[in-house]
Structure 1
Amino acid sequence: MKMRFAQLILIIPMVLGSNLSAQTDAFCDQLQSLMVQAGDGVTTSFHLSSRTLAQVDCAPSRGLGGTVSLHCAWPFKYRSMQSLDAFESLLGQVAACANPIAADTSSVNHPNSYDLRQFSSGVGVISVPLKDKGALNQTYVFLRVERPFMP
């Protein structure tokens, strides 16, 4: 009996670890696909494997420097714990796929707050900002993928 219990203790972390690894790989693949779709100029649906972030539509945009982007936004109640949990969850997922390059927690010139984290992938830049919008009484978690335009 003790031998079986010991074997079970060794097996459980391996099973859980492989499941987490599969989830991470799936998210990274989804993020990579989103990066490729940024150049299509089409609104794209994106769903995160997080309980706090539902599926949203991500809107395309073009940058002045010849970049293409997709922006995804999740609204929450103003400065709610759910918004912070979602931000931290998204940061953790993105950090498993890309390398951190910048964090901007500088203050803004109005009562709202702003926290930006950026990551480098092989294709472009992934940004995860948290923004308070006092006038709207909402806090937003954003995901932006940006890459050079390739015709």
Structure 2
Amino acid sequence: MKGAATGLALFLAANSALADEFCDTLAAMQAVAGDPDARHVTVAFPDAAATEAPCRAVLELGGIRSLSCNWSFAYRAAEAQAAFEALSTAITECRGDALASDAPVNHPDTYDLLSFEGGVSAALKDKANLGETLVILRVQG
């Protein structure tokens, strides 16, 4: 599968009419995430508020490989919250309800993290020093 992910574009569907397509996208991302040679993977929301996001390969503790895809918004923008909710809803349609939610942290930046079956998670992170809010999709291989 070496180099198989080059130029691959994956699309995030945030409504039930395209749920099967998004579930296929998650499966494709998991296959690509496990490939140590995965490069140039992107994911896009269908709405204008969230543009295409690059995904980067991440090597986690224990040697687990994953893809992490980030959408950037203005700090605490309503569009970021809406994108996080759409992402969470789409994942729920494929993987069921979230298995866990992280506890709040005690520092100026805030975040929500929802973990789903099969190593998929969605996060909403406020980054005060950067003046932005990130919506993050992580898919383990």
Q: CA deviation at 1:21?
A: 4.8
Cross-structure match for 1:39: 34
Cross-structure match for 1:29: 24
Cross-structure match for 2:83: 86
**Cα RMSD (Å) of the superposition?**
1.5
Whether the 8 Å contact between 1:50 and 1:89 is mirrored in structure 2 is no
The number of aligned residues is 124
Cross-structure match for 1:101: 99
Cross-structure match for 2:128: 134
Q: TM-score, normalised by structure 2?
A: 0.81
Q: Deviations over 1:60-90 (max 9, x none)?
A: 0111212110000000000010000000010
Q: CA deviation at 1:136?
A: 0.3
Share of identical aligned residues, percent? 39
Q: Note if 1:112 corresponds to 2:109.
A: yes
Structure 2: tracts of 5 or more residues without a match:
1-14
Q: CA deviation at 1:58?
A: 0.5
CA distance in structure 1 between the partners assigned to 2:64 and 2:109 by the alignment: 28
CA distance in structure 1 between the partners assigned to 2:123 and 2:16 by the alignment: 25
1:69 to 66, 69, 73: 66
Specify the structure having the higher radius of gyration (Cα). 1
CA distance in structure 2 between the partners assigned to 1:72 and 1:48 by the alignment: 11
CA distance in structure 2 between the partners assigned to 1:74 and 1:45 by the alignment: 11
Tell me the secondary structure at the aligned position of residue 28 of structure 2.
helix
Structure 1: tracts of 5 or more residues without a match:
1-19
More deviation, 65-74/106-115? 106-115
CA distance in structure 1 between the partners assigned to 2:59 and 2:107 by the alignment: 27
CA distance in structure 1 between the partners assigned to 2:99 and 2:121 by the alignment: 10
Whether the 8 Å contact between 1:132 and 1:140 is mirrored in structure 2 is yes
CA distance in structure 2 between the partners assigned to 1:47 and 1:131 by the alignment: 18
CA distance in structure 2 between the partners assigned to 1:30 and 1:51 by the alignment: 20
